[in-house]
Chains A and B, each alone.
Chain A
Amino acid sequence: MTETTTISAVKPPTGGIITQFRHRRRRNGRRSALRVHPALYLFPLPAVALLVAFMAVPLLESLQYAITNWDGYSATFDYVGLNNFVRAFTGDTLFLNALTNNVLYMLVVVIVQTILSLLLSLLLVKNSRGGIFLRALFFFPTILSSVSVAFIWRFMYEPNFGLLNGFLGAIGLHQFQSAFLGDDQQALYWVALVQVWAHAGQMMVVFIAGLQAIPQELYEAAELDGAGRWRRFTSITWPMLAPATTIVVAYVTIQSFKAFDLLLGIGGNPPKNSLDILSTRIYTTFVNSHFGYAAAESVIFMVLILIVTVLQRRILRLTQKQE
């Protein structure tokens, strides 16, 4: 198969050449003159070695740890079968709380960040000086480290000296002052807002790229047909932005599952229950020296991300088919 592909890449094959090649291949068996030099198989070796060392081995190890009660340092341990997995779903309210928080966090971030970045992109799609400056401004938080972002916002949300309550007080809106992260009913939403602030600019760029790829002729034709702004948006912009939207939604979804450093930076270690998501829960379990159980939580986490990714890819494929 490799040989055929090589020829195809060089020259569009005719039926005659392919037939000749296949005959010759059958005659010479594996010793075909056109075969790839075996040494070429060595080229991917470094990448494969890295993949095996840093991905495959830890993955296999975590699968093995997940069925043990290893504490992380003892020489002995017991195999506990699927007990760790059963415990995660039936006997651990902290894990289920983290799972619920994570789903809620994901929904808020995905919806708000996607809408906000779409709005920003629509407003800043033109390559004017002001537009370019504002794009850079909105993109800026993306280049900050999550830990810096977490600490900046920790101080913003500080109820007594924080900028937000200070501002609300200064303009006389004392009734809207809040304990922010100190209020368990609101805390997760305030952190979600930080995530949106930090990454909306990044997603805006993806949308702008999508918007700039839409042919202007479509808008001109629609305008001639008497289509208004809203109609042009719903009939041209939105459908044509579908691939970009799918990328944004997929990226933001995974990002919200992995918002470990932001949550830990803002919520402290361990974060309180209202700010505990799956990644921080796994970390706390590791710190508690329950390596076996933490590995099981990691496996569940990995499967969840896998499911979400597969779903996103399917949606992407469906969208592409529609085009």
Chain B
Amino acid sequence: MSNEFSRRQMLGMFGLAGAGALLTACAGPGTTARPTASAGTSAFSGKATGNVSFAHWRAEDKPAFDELIKKFTAAHPDITMTQDITPSADWTANGLQKLRGSAVGDAFATLRGSQFEQVVKAGVYADLTGTKAAANYQNPEAGTKNGKVLGLPLQVVFNQPVINLDAFDKANADKAPADWDSLLNTCDKLKTAGFVPIAWPGGDAGNLGQLFNSMILNHAPAEDMCAQIEQGKLKVTDSWFIDMLKQYQQLAPFFQDKSTGTLQDGARVMFAQGTAAMMATGSFDILTVRKQGAKFPIDMLFPKTVAKGKKSKYDGVYNQTFIMGVNSASKTQPAAYAWLEFMSQPENAGYYANNTAQHVGVKGVKYTDKDLSDLEPWLSKNNALAPRFQFLNLDVRKAVEGTTVAVVGGTSPEKAAEDAQKIVDQNRQS
């Protein structure tokens, strides 16, 4: 028998391979293997062994995690651990796909908002309800879904303006204005004293909406106002939203020149150099401005948008993020859970906090970093969870937050709102 393939046989083989490829291609979306359903606490009770992949996006926290992992693996000799760090933008876009494959991310972290919601919907988070780790957290609200604790939000950040106390003293300005007019008066004093009252990164897609968090809270008729805008229950053309935009109009002269093109880095430099008295991003930027040479004492200011004599519903705005969880498809769930429990201990969470200059959601943590300890009183104020992360659709968020840029750029609040509402409606119908 000849060992040679005839041309017909070869064509047949190619045809067969092609048909196979075609069938593979047409297998249909969504038919790939899915993780099992949430595991529940019993899944964590086995022996904690094996290699744990810890997937997240915060490359800047790697040195702190490296130290903590050393300590963790020393206490658990049967566990090895690796950090799988993906750049933030990639993690937002592709994190879910990576986690579903479960090749990385036995333990992982997600951002609050659409990423967390998608990961929950895909069944990737194992249930942490009733675990010791969950009990060590103050209030893991951002990681809770339908009464189940699925993730533990390690970081707590404040998404409200940070202020240069020296500048406020020099201008004799009110550091805690109780209403909108007082805030405008404060801005006026700062401007008269030669400061840019507010450095606002209006050209930075990721951070232009941080101020929006504070501005919308006391106007909106519901706590989940952004979710309701996305669902069509509330509209940006409603009077309460227009009122908020009118306040942006009033703030515009107190922003730096050409603020609609300013990046986060630009705002940080203005604040660090003492040119701007306030920076409308959040506490997460304090570490960077310190590295840029800012020596002045720093506090925060929550813009109360209420009229004189009216009480503000909220006193601050914060976000819980870096929502750590155990992958329901992981083969080393007990070991991955052991890592979460380790990180829920005040000593270890405190090490992370003080070495990354972030507050944490774990109870009983002692802050030794000066800025963290100075700002600690804010943790116990009547704060609301940052509303902009209620948006699950990027196009809707962009359109709604974009109204503020349009208004500062000179568009009328009504026109800006109308344009944005069209995009919201369009996305809701899709």
Contact = CB atoms under 8 A, between A and B. Distances in A.
B265 interface: yes
Interface string A40-70: 0110000011001100111011001100101
B205 A73 contact: no
B395 A271 contact: no
Interface stretch (B74-82, B104-112, B231-239, B254-262): B254-262
A183 B423 CA distance: 20
Interface string B255-279: 0111111110110011000000000
B56 to A, nearest CB: 18
B195 to A, nearest CB: 14
B261 A159 contact: yes
Contact of B426 (A91, A154, A157): A91
B309 interface: no
A199 B9 CA distance: 49
A271 B205 contact: yes
A94 B423 contact: yes
A223 interface: no
B281 to A, nearest CB: 14
Nearest to B205: A268
B325 to A, nearest CB: 16
Contacts of B89: 264, 269
Nearest to A70: B29
Contacts of B97: 72-73
B6 interface: yes
A293 B430 contact: yes
Interface magnitude class on chain B: 35 or more
Given A56-B21, A91-B429, A289-B118, A64 B29 contact: yes
A74 B31 CA distance: 9
Interface stretch (A4-12, A173-181, A251-259): A173-181
A161 interface: yes
A14 B411 CA distance: 81
Contact of A283 (B18, B93, B266, B429): B93
Contacts of A53: 21
A155 B265 contact: yes
A240 B154 CA distance: 66
A161 B271 CA distance: 12
Given A60-B25, A70-B30, A293-B430, A154 B395 contact: no
A77 B29 contact: yes
A64 B23 CA distance: 12
Given A38-B9, A93-B426, A64 B260 contact: no
A160 B25 contact: no
Interface of A: 30, 37-39, 41-42, 48-49, 52-53, 56-58, 60-61, 64-65, 68, 70, 72-77, 87, 91-94, 154-155, 157-162, 165, 177-184, 264, 267-273, 283-284, 286-293
19 contacts: A41-B5, A48-B14, A48-B17, A49-B17, A61-B26, A72-B97, A74-B121, A77-B29, A93-B426, A94-B395, A94-B426, A159-B257, A159-B262, A159-B266, A181-B203, A182-B261, A184-B409, A284-B395, A287-B93
Interface of B: 4-7, 9-10, 14, 17-18, 21-22, 24-26, 28-31, 34, 89, 92-93, 96-97, 100, 114, 118, 121-122, 202-206, 256-263, 265-266, 269-270, 393-395, 398, 402, 405, 409, 422-423, 426, 429-430
Given A161-B265, A182-B260, 12 more contacts: A38-B5, A52-B21, A77-B28, A94-B426, A179-B260, A182-B258, A182-B259, A183-B261, A269-B89, A270-B398, A271-B205, A272-B405
